[in-house]
Amino acid sequence: MEHIQQYQEKEFTGKGALWPFLKRLFTYSIKHKRWFWSFVISVMVVAVSDALFPLIWMYFIDNAITPAAKMYWEAKQQGLTPQVNYGQLWFYIGLFFANAVVQVIGVFFFIRFAGYIEETVMYELRREMFGRLQELSFSYYDKSATGWLLSRITSDSQRVTELLSWGFVEVVWGITMIIACLGAMLFYNWKLALIVLGSLPVLFGISIKIRLLILNYSRKARKLNSEITAAYSEHINGIEVNKITTQETRVSHEFTRLSDQMRIASYKAAYYTAMYFPMVILVGSAAAALVLLAGANMVLAVPVGISIGTLTAFFSYATQIFLPIVDISRFYAQAQGSLSAGERIFSLIDEQPEIQDQPGAGVFNQIEGDILFENVGFYYHPDKPVLQNLNLHIKAGQSVALVGPTGHGKSTIANLICRFYEPTEGVIYIDGENYTAKTQQSLHQQLGVVLQTPHLFEGTIAGNVKYARPDAADKEVIEALELVGAGFFTNRLSEKVESGGENLSMGERQLISFARAILAQPRILIMDEATSSIDTLTEARIQQGIEHMIAGRTSVIIAHRLSTIKHCDRILLIQNGKIAEDGNHMQLMNQRGQYYRLYTKQLKHEVATRNIAEEEELLAE
């Protein structure tokens, strides 16, 4: 049972390499070439236009405002009526407006394409994951909690595609913006540019440092979040048990401990986030102050170093240069934070089904139903073999009952026949052919399986019976239901079935899943304790149905009740993964072995007590 320890979801620490993850993720968006490049270019346009505003402003002040203001002032001094010339003003207003229009167009395109990429890649990732989930074998589901798998399809895919779209917008914008601003500054005054440039390493340093701190805590928070999700899932699914054992208060109380850890972790993350902005703003302000000091000096220097417009432009660059850095570092943190989500997604997409069709596998045509186990060995985990060296030949059309104590391998044998698992040793032949050389599909289509735990899907009763053959007529549905003694459903066909069949009694669920298997008209019928929750009379009634079903097809029936198995051609007593006894009912009884004991120990006791009771009654009379 060690394997069960490994049941715990493989932990995706997110400590893997960032680069390969991003590279792989981006292949999804680059696939949409036109969107991708339009998106990148429009973001760059927006960034350049953002960087242009201070420049336009600078020229506006220097060319349109200062000289005119000066002239006006001088004119006034000389007592003349000042002449105001609006030509320059209109020109720069035009420039402002043109730049704005360009930016708006850019915004339209990048929102559109970033959004399209996000939605489409999400769609693609989900499709790939879902497709893969349908291929994976039972063994995968044995060790993966469905809640975890579900969250990969829902939230994980959202996380990583957000990185592709809005996250990427920020980097492209940030990088372009920094380059454009620095270029402009270097062009106009390299000394002041150096001051601003000098603040960049500090800003980057602080950003990365604090971001990583935040990341650390938000990772912790996310891990706790999945524990919280698991707790919700478990205790919603187990609500009936909680109520019947009156543990609601206790589990709710235990939950508060978990949510408290969550509170602390997310508070820490929020705390450092709260610290981040004030710090970068402070550094930006320091740079701006230096620009002011040096710039004002230059304005006043003789000969004049820079114009007032240049000073204001540099001042606004200095106070804004932290924005792109904030954005770039946010992307970095977001990418780091999505790494584990990405690992989960890609590991699912890459997961190879344990059972695969071999290349060039043939198909089973009409199966006769001859099943041969040749030295079959099987384990769920190497440490604990379930079957060893099992040889078994079930002839076409034969009905075989598997009986024996629980946990000794009956269901396992059934699972192997269905190829839900493959033997770890030896070979299974169906109709004389190694079944691994055929496609799973062609086998499964000819199987009728009633699993030990009946599962119904949300929908209607008819919909569930028709699951394997959606095109079946209502008449056939009714026939199948009647055959399994569930005729009372005939006028409830369109009744709603809740997820899992929660609103039906256990026995009803079994009957419906039995009818479902029958409607599939399988060549091989497998029933794993399919009637355990059905009352004896109904069972007796459906014996006819069962006999009808097993006539002409191979069937393997696992059951405990004698009434169910006595019609079978052959009974196998499975013990410790081996066939301990083999024969029909009479033969086994006569062997006076385990089978005999299994069914008489209780009976003997009963008959004895019954006789005593009857004697007592007689005496009493």
Partner 1 sequence: MKNLKKLFAILHKWKSYYLLSAVLLIVSTFFRMLEPKVLQVTIDGVISWYGSGGKEAVAITDSIGRFIFSLLPTLQPQNLLTVLTAIVLVYLFIALLRSATMFVSSAIAAQSTEKAIKRLRDNLFAYLQRLPMSFHITATTGELIQRCTGDVDTVRKFIGTQVVDVVLLSTVFLFSFGMMLNMNVTYALIAVCLVPFIFIQSYIFFKRESTVWEAHEAEQDKLTSLVEENLGGIRVVKAFAREQAEIDRFEKQNRAKLSIGLKHVDLHAQFWPLSDMLFHLQITLSILAGGYFTLNNQITVGELTAFYSYIVMVSWPMRNIGRVLSQMSMALVAIERLSAIMDAPAEDYSGITNAAVKGQVAFRNVWFKYPGTDLYVLKDVSFTVEPGEQVALMGPTGAGKSTIIALLSRFYEPEKGEIFLDGININKYSKEFLRSNIGVVLQKPFLFSTTIKRNIAYVNPEAEEEKLIEAAQAASIHEIIHIFPQGYDTMVGEKGVSLSGGQKQRVTLARTLLETPAILVLDDATSAVDTETEYDIQMALQQYTGNKTVFIIAHRVTSVQHASRIIVLDKGQIVQNGTPAQLQQEEDGFYSRIYQVQVAIENEILN
Ligand X SMILES: Nc1ncnc2c1ncn2[C@@H]1O[C@H](COP(=O)(O)OP(=O)(O)O)[C@@H](O)[C@H]1O
- Sites of contact with ligand X (CB under 6 A): 142, 380, 386, 406-412, 503-505, 507-508
**Residue 31 interaction partner, one of partner 1, Mg ion, ligand X, none, beta carbon < 5-8 Å per kind:** none
Asked if residue 340 binds Mg ion (CB under 5 A), the reply is no
What is the spatial distance between Cα 225 and Cα 233, in angstroms, rounded to a whole number? 12
Asked if residue 366 binds partner 1 (CB under 8 A), the reply is no
Token pair, residue 220, equals 């912790």
Q: Parallel, antiparallel, or unpaired for β 425-430 and 371-381?
A: antiparallel
Token pair, residue 486, equals 């569930």
Site for partner 1 in 161-220 (CB under 8 A): none
List of residues 6+ apart from 514 with CB closer than 8 A: 450, 484, 486, 527, 530, 531, 542
Asked if residue 141 binds partner 1 (CB under 8 A), the reply is yes
Asked if residue 151 binds Mg ion (CB under 5 A), the reply is no
Nearer to ligand X, 56 or 504 (CB): 504
**In whole angstroms, how close is the CB of 510 to partner 1 at the nearest point?**
8
**In whole angstroms, how close is the CB of 238 to Mg ion at the nearest point?**
18
Nearer to partner 1, 352 or 375 (CB): 352
**In whole angstroms, how close is the CB of 425 to ligand X at the nearest point?**
16
**In whole angstroms, how close is the CB of 370 to ligand X at the nearest point?**
23
Position among 511, 527, 530, 568 found at the interface with partner 1 (CB under 8 A): 511
Q: Parallel, antiparallel, or unpaired for β 524-528 and 447-450?
A: parallel
Inter-residue contact 384 to 62 (CB < 8 Å) = no
**In whole angstroms, how close is the CB of 252 to partner 1 at the nearest point?**
4
What is the spatial distance between Cα 49 and Cα 217, in angstroms, rounded to a whole number? 37
Tell which residue, 221, 236, 250, 263, has the closest CA to residue 147. Answer: 236
**In whole angstroms, how close is the CB of 507 to ligand X at the nearest point?**
5
Nearer to ligand X, 386 or 468 (CB): 386
Position among 540, 551, 608, 612 found at the interface with partner 1 (CB under 8 A): 540
**In whole angstroms, how close is the CB of 53 to partner 1 at the nearest point?**
9
**Residue 24 interaction partner, one of Mg ion, partner 1, ligand X, none, beta carbon < 5-8 Å per kind:** none
Backbone angles phi, psi at 579, to 5 degrees: -85, 105
Asked if residue 531 binds Mg ion (CB under 5 A), the reply is no
Tell which residue, 283, 319, 280, 328, has the closest CA to residue 47. Answer: 328
Q: How many CB atoms lie within 10 A of CB 413?
A: 27
Tell which residue, 404, 454, 366, 348, has the closest CA to residue 565. Answer: 404
**Residue 600 interaction partner, one of Mg ion, partner 1, ligand X, none, beta carbon < 5-8 Å per kind:** partner 1
Asked if residue 575 binds Mg ion (CB under 5 A), the reply is no
Asked if residue 31 binds partner 1 (CB under 8 A), the reply is no
In the block, tokens 């291929």 appear at 135
Q: How many CB atoms lie within 10 A of CB 336?
A: 19
What is the spatial distance between Cα 423 and Cα 373, in angstroms, rounded to a whole number? 9
**Residue 100 interaction partner, one of Mg ion, partner 1, ligand X, none, beta carbon < 5-8 Å per kind:** partner 1
Nearer to ligand X, 415 or 554 (CB): 415
What is the spatial distance between Cα 60 and Cα 589, in angstroms, rounded to a whole number? 107
In the block, tokens 């009156």 appear at 246
List of residues 6+ apart from 52 with CB closer than 8 A: 99, 180
Nearer to Mg ion, 3 or 560 (CB): 560
**In whole angstroms, how close is the CB of 111 to partner 1 at the nearest point?**
4
Element (DSSP H or E) covering residue 380: strand 371-381
Element (DSSP H or E) covering residue 449: strand 447-450
Asked if residue 418 binds partner 1 (CB under 8 A), the reply is yes
Q: Give the binding range for partner 1 (CB under 8 A) out of 32-40, 153-161, 169-177, 204-212.
A: 153-161
Asked if residue 293 binds partner 1 (CB under 8 A), the reply is yes
Position among 605, 608, 611, 612 found at the interface with partner 1 (CB under 8 A): 605
Cα 455 → chain centroid:
21
The percent helix, strand, coil of the chain (3-state, each to 5) is 65, 10, 20
Nearer to ligand X, 298 or 386 (CB): 386
**Residue 249 interaction partner, one of partner 1, ligand X, Mg ion, none, beta carbon < 5-8 Å per kind:** partner 1
Nearer to ligand X, 28 or 379 (CB): 379
Q: Provide the H-helix boundaries in 301-401.
A: 308-320, 322-350
**In whole angstroms, how close is the CB of 599 to ligand X at the nearest point?**
17
* Residues pairing with 450 in the sheet: 527
Peptide bond into 405 cis (omega under 30): no
Position among 32, 38, 115, 424 found at the interface with partner 1 (CB under 8 A): 115
Inter-residue contact 346 to 315 (CB < 8 Å) = no
**Residue 175 interaction partner, one of Mg ion, partner 1, ligand X, none, beta carbon < 5-8 Å per kind:** none
**In whole angstroms, how close is the CB of 410 to ligand X at the nearest point?**
3
Site for Mg ion in 480-509 (CB under 5 A): 505-506
* Residues pairing with 496 in the sheet: 460
Nearer to Mg ion, 44 or 530 (CB): 530
**In whole angstroms, how close is the CB of 266 to ligand X at the nearest point?**
36
Single-letter residue type at 284: G
* Residues pairing with 390 in the sheet: 376
Q: How many CB atoms lie within 10 A of CB 45?
A: 18
Position among 377, 385, 500, 583 found at the interface with partner 1 (CB under 8 A): 500
Binding mask 393-432 for Mg ion (x = CB under 5 A): ------------------x---------------------
Asked if residue 297 binds partner 1 (CB under 8 A), the reply is yes
**In whole angstroms, how close is the CB of 174 to partner 1 at the nearest point?**
19
**Residue 441 interaction partner, one of Mg ion, ligand X, partner 1, none, beta carbon < 5-8 Å per kind:** partner 1
**Residue 386 interaction partner, one of partner 1, ligand X, Mg ion, none, beta carbon < 5-8 Å per kind:** ligand X
Asked if residue 44 binds partner 1 (CB under 8 A), the reply is no
* Residues pairing with 570 in the sheet: 400
Give exposure, 209-236, as e/b (b: 16+ Cβ within 10 Å). ebbebbbebbbbbbbbbeebebeebebe
In the block, tokens 């990418």 appear at 335
What is the contact surface with Mg ion in residues (CB under 5 A)?
411, 505-506
